[in-house]
């Protein structure tokens, strides 16, 4: 891959050891002749990644999600270094980053494009989500009746705590906790998983890439909260129709050349079972 010559460090200083690790990686990059600048993570300002070859995010998955929208718009690849807990997106450990950072900056990496969702009110401004869109009652104790359309056709309506609409990347986040499926990140689909539906049939639905979803709130006295990657969408009013689809934009993630998605999933989710010697 192309060498990285202009690098932004997005550091979540609230994470233990993140600031110190940032200084170490900045020193490695500077020694390699890379121009380095730092920005505060969560959230990054519009235009802050323009002209950069890559952005190294030091924190947890939430930190990377806070940078992902701007990275997608600027088409700047993200290097995720984990100083949080799970680290599905921040796949480099601190030790791996220290050991391999110089080689990575020289081009020893691969890029993977991850689908994003776009969401907004019907006919209104859209925003992006790398993991998921959450639609729920604004009051945590309230059920809400949500009606779902796909390409103008009624799918069903749910009386539930809410709905999770996720990308394959986000399938291992809130969707997984709510009983939804794990989806390989290269799949071009949207998964919809109800949260605690008042029904004996509770199943996720997988939609094709081109689908246009519309969600109606059929409980007028129960206002909706719409959150994209955990951040409330400020442009959606109380009872507006919510539209969700797959964006044309992709976020590019930097991975080690020998990265294995299923190795990450097995490790992070602590899957049990013996490995078979296939030699």
Q: Where is pLDDT greater, at 86 or 48?
A: 48
Mean pLDDT of 73-83: 97
Instruction: Determine the Cα–Cα distance for residues 119 and 69; give it in Å rounded to an integer.
Output: 12
- pTM value is 0.91
Calpha distance 190→181 (Å, rounded):
11
For 100-122, the pLDDT digits (tens) are: 999 999 999 999 999 999 999 99
The full set of domains in the chain, from first to last, is 6-109+256-268 (3.40.50.10330), 116-249 (2.60.200.30)
Could you report how far apart the first and last alpha carbons of the chain are, in Å?
31
- Residues in Cβ contact with 3 at an 8 Å cutoff, skipping those fewer than 6 apart: 53, 105, 106, 107
Query: What is the C-alpha to C-alpha distance for residues 205 and 209, in angstroms, rounded to an integer?
Result: 13
pLDDT at 173 over 90: yes
Cis peptide before 43 (omega within 30 of 0): yes
| Of residues 264 and 274, more confidently modeled | 264
Catalytic residues: 61
Answer whether 200's CB lies under 8 Å from 120's CB. Answer: no
Calculate mean pLDDT across residues 165-185: 96
CB 76 within 8 A of CB 82: no
Q: Rounded distance, CA 28 to CA 105, Å? A: 9
DSSP-derived pairing of the beta strands 144-150 and 205-208: unpaired
Q: Are 11 and 18 in contact (CB under 8 A)?
A: yes
Backbone angles phi and psi of 222, in degrees to 5: -125, 90
Do the beta carbons of residue 132 and residue 175 sit within 8 Å? yes
pLDDT digits (tens, 9 = 90+) for 1-38: 999 999 999 999 999 999 999 999 999 999 999 999 99
> Which tens digit of pLDDT belongs to each residue from 248-260?
999 999 998 888 8
Rounded CA-CA distance 174/94 in Å is 25
Q: Residues 74, 50: contact at Cβ < 8 Å?
A: yes
CB 274 within 8 A of CB 101: no
The residue among 252, 219, 15, 238 whose CA lies nearest residue 121 is 238
If you average pLDDT over residues 78-94, what whole number do you get?
Answer: 90
What confidence score (pLDDT) does residue 98 get?
Answer: 96
pLDDT-derived band of residue 274, with 50, 70 and 90 as boundaries?
low
Say how far apart CA 144 and CA 138 lie, in whole Å.
9
């Amino acid at each position: 891959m192309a060498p990285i010559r202009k690098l932004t460090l997005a550091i979540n200083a609230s994470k233990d050891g993140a600031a110190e690790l940032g200084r170490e990686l900045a020193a490695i990059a500077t020694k390699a002749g890379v121009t380095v600048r730092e920005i505060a993570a969560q959230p990054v300002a519009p235009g802050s990644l323009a002209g950069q070859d890559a952005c190294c995010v030091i924190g947890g998955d939430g930190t990377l999600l806070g940078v992902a929208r701007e990275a997608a718009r600027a088409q700047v690849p993200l290097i995720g270094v984990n100083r949080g807990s799970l680290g599905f997106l921040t796949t480099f450990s601190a030790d791996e980053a220290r050991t391999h950072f110089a080689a990575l900056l020289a081009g020893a990496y691969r890029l993977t494009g991850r689908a994003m969702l776009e969401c907004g009110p019907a006919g209104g401004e859209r925003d992006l989500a790398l993991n998921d869109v959450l639609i729920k009652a604004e009051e945590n104790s309230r059920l809400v009746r949500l009606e779902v359309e796909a390409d103008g056709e009624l799918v069903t309506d749910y009386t539930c705590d809410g709905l999770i609409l996720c990308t394959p990347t986000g399938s291992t986040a809130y969707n997984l906790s709510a009983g939804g499926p794990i989806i390989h990140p290269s799949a071009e689909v949207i998964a919809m998983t109800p949260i605690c539906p008042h029904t004996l049939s509770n199943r996720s639905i997988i939609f094709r890439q081109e689908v246009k979803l519309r969600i109606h709130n059929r409980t007028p006295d129960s206002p909706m909260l719409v959150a994209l990657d955990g951040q409330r969408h400020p442009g959606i009013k109380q009872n507006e129709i919510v539209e969700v689809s797959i964006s044309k934009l992709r976020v590019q993630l930097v991975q080690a050349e020998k990265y294995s998605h299923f190795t990450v999933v097995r490790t992070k989710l602590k899957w049990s079972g013996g490995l078979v010697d296939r030699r």
